[in-house]
Amino acid sequence: AHTAPTLAGLKTGSLFPCAYSSWPVLLREIRAMNRLLRGKGLCLIPLRHRAGRALLYLYRPARLSRDLAAEDAATLLEQEGYADLRQSRALAELIQRLERFEDFPHEIGLFLSYPPEDVRGFIEHGGRNCKCVGCWKVYGDAKRAQDTFRAYKLCTDRYRAYSAMGATVARLAVADGASAPQSKA
C-alpha cells in the first residue's frame, strides 16, 4: 500500500517500515526483490535500521536523478548542505543524516516527489502555515497537490485490491514509461 504510487510510476519514491529478525536475511530479500524490479526501472534500498525495524526506500533511479537535478531541488539541497547532487552521493548523504538524527531531514521530500516549493515552505515555516495537508504539507499549488493526493489514493486503493486478488509486486510494478495495470471490469 505504501509503495503503490511508486510501483505504478506516479511518483519517484516511497518509504515504508519493515520489521526483520535477521539483518542478513532482510538484505538477501532486498537483493532478490531488486532482481525482480530492476527491469522495471525500480530499486529497493534500506535507508536506516535499528532494533529489528528497517526503513526501506523503493524508488525509480532515473526519475530520482532527474528530480534532484531540477534547478529548484538542486538549489534547496545545496542550501541544506548536500555537496554532491549525483544520485548515489545524495542518497548516501540522506542515509548518513537518517542515521545521525532521530528526526527525518525535511529535504527527504525531494526524494519522494514532493514539489520543491512545498519542501522549501515546510523548512521555512517549520511545518506551520501550510495551505492544505494530504500526503505532505502544501505551501505552493494546493489544487495540483490535491489532484495528486487523489491520484495516489485511487492508485493505492486499486493496488490494494489487485494484491488481495493475488497480484505480486513484480506484476504490479510498471516499467518506466508504461502505464499502470487497469482492472478488467
Cβ neighbours of residue 70 closer than 8 Å, sequence gap 6 or more: 116
State the residue for C-alpha cell 505504501. 2
Q: What is the pLDDT of residue 171?
A: 94
Rounded Cα distance between 80 and 83, Å, is 9
CA 173 to chain centre: 14
Q: What is the pLDDT of residue 177?
A: 72
End-to-end CA distance of the chain: 21
Residue 5 above 50 pLDDT? yes
Q: What is the pLDDT of residue 184?
A: 45
pLDDT category of residue 2 using cuts at 50, 70 and 90:
confident
For residue 149, give the nearest of 44, 51, 29, 141 by alpha carbon.
141
Half-sphere exposure (CA, 13 Å, Cβ side) for 162? Answer: 23
- Of residues 182 and 85, more confidence is placed in 85
Domain ranges in the chain? 4-169
- pTM score, whole prediction: 0.93
Q: What is the pLDDT of residue 181?
A: 58
pLDDT category of residue 180 using cuts at 50, 70 and 90:
low
Tens of pLDDT, residues 89-148: 999 999 999 999 888 899 999 999 999 999 999 999 999 999 999 999 999 999 999 999
R_g over Cα of the chain: 17
Residue 15 above 90 pLDDT? yes
